[in-house]
């Protein structure tokens, strides 16, 4: 029984329809379970939705726990004992606890961790995660450049601008970040000429800094999709070959 449960709750293989249905079911439940967060006052319908979704997510947690030995490929009681302290299990439990009154109301936002299930099961999210993994060096260097520029421009602003505009360094950091990302809320702006010059450079530099990672991620995403399609086609051809061979042998 546990072996079958394990194949169902794990990420679906091409031929396992029940497992595929289970993946979609968990994604739907995870999405539904955050709906109560959108309402300030709770109605009976919201409470019912909360109860049902929490229970279904908890069932998934239990099923994962009782099949942990198959996942860990280690048939020993340790597999079961270790499961609650694995990162995925901790995240699952923390996302459930605020709904059952074991954590104070202020921890309600932890329920958003349920959405990690969507990330876990969704192929598109997996592609994005893979892109970030593959391009982490490039993205990290762009991020470092951005952070360095934000710090330098914030320091210049903080030194040259009057106290009335940038009361503390955090204000300067806030301005530098909004200027570099070209958001520019306009609530804090420079008054001196040097400040205005830095602002102009930030806007120009910001376009380049923001466009670079966007291009890297888009390129990587397309590569991932192409790779996925190629793998699918390869598998198709292999299955076809295997079928033909089987047919040939029976003849």
Partner 1 sequence: MKQNNVRRYASFMLIGVALNLGLYQIAHIFHLPLWMDSIGTAYVAILLEPTAGLLVAFATNFYQAAIIYDSSSLVYYATSAMAALCIGILMRKNGELCWKRLGKAIACYFVCATLIATLLTIWRTSGVPDSGWERSFFETALGWGLPAPLACLYGTAILKFFDSLLLLVVLPILHTCTPKKYRTITLPQIVSWKHPYFHSKTEE
| Residue 99 near partner 1 by CB under 8 A | yes
**Which listed residue (43, 76, 168, 192) binds partner 1 by CB under 8 A?**
76
CB 38 to partner 1: min, Å: 18
Binding mask 22-51 for partner 1 (x = CB under 8 A): -------------------------xx-xx
What does the alpha-carbon distance between residue 203 and residue 211 come to, in Å, rounded to a whole number? 12
What does the alpha-carbon distance between residue 94 and residue 107 come to, in Å, rounded to a whole number? 9
Going 168 to 171 to 175 to 181, the CA torsion angle's sign is: positive
Q: Choose the binding region for partner 1 from 70-78, 109-117, 146-154, 184-192 (rule: CB under 8 A).
A: 70-78
| Residue 1 near partner 1 by CB under 8 A | yes
Q: Choose the binding region for partner 1 from 22-30, 66-74, 186-194, 223-231 (rule: CB under 8 A).
A: 66-74
| Residue 4 near partner 1 by CB under 8 A | yes
List own/partner pairs for 132-140 with CB under 8 A and 24 or more apart: 132/217, 134/220, 135/216, 135/217, 135/220, 138/216, 139/213, 139/216, 139/217
Nearer to partner 1, 74 or 234 (CB): 74
Size of the site for partner 1 (CB under 8 A): 26
| Residue 74 near partner 1 by CB under 8 A | yes
Structure tokens, 180: 């570099």
Residues lying near partner 1 in the complex (CB under 8 A): 1-2, 4-5, 47-48, 50-52, 54-55, 58-59, 62, 66, 69, 74-77, 80, 96, 99-102
């Amino acid at each position: 029984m546990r072996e079958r449960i394990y194949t169902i709750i794990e990420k679906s293989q091409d031929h396992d329809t029940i497992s595929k249905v289970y993946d979609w079911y968990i994604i739907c439940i995870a999405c539904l379970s955050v709906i109560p967060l959108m309402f300030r006052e709770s109605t009976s319908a919201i409470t019912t939705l909360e109860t049902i979704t929490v229970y279904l997510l908890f069932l998934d947690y239990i099923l994962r726990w009782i099949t942990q030995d198959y996942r860990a490929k280690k048939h020993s009681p340790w597999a079961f004992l270790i499961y609650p302290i694995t990162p995925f299990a901790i995240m699952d439990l923390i996302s459930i606890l605020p709904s059952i009154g074991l954590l104070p109301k202020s921890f309600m936002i932890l329920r958003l961790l349920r959405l990690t299930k969507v990330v876990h099961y969704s192929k598109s999210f997996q592609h994005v995660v893979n892109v970030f993994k593959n391009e982490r060096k490039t993205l990290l260097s762009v991020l470092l450049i951005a952070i360095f520029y934000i710090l330098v421009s914030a320091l210049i602003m903080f030194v040259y601008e009057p106290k009335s505009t940038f009361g503390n360094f955090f204000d300067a950091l806030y301005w530098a970040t909004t200027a570099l990302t070209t958001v520019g809320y306009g609530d804090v702006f420079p008054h001196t000429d040097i400040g205005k010059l830095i602002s102009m450079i930030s806007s120009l530099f910001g376009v380049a800094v923001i466009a670079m990672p966007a291009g890297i991620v888009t390129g990587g995403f397309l590569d991932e999709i192409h790779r996925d399609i190629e793998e699918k086609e390869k598998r198709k051809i292999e299955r076809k070959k295997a079928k033909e061979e089987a047919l040939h042998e029976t003849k």
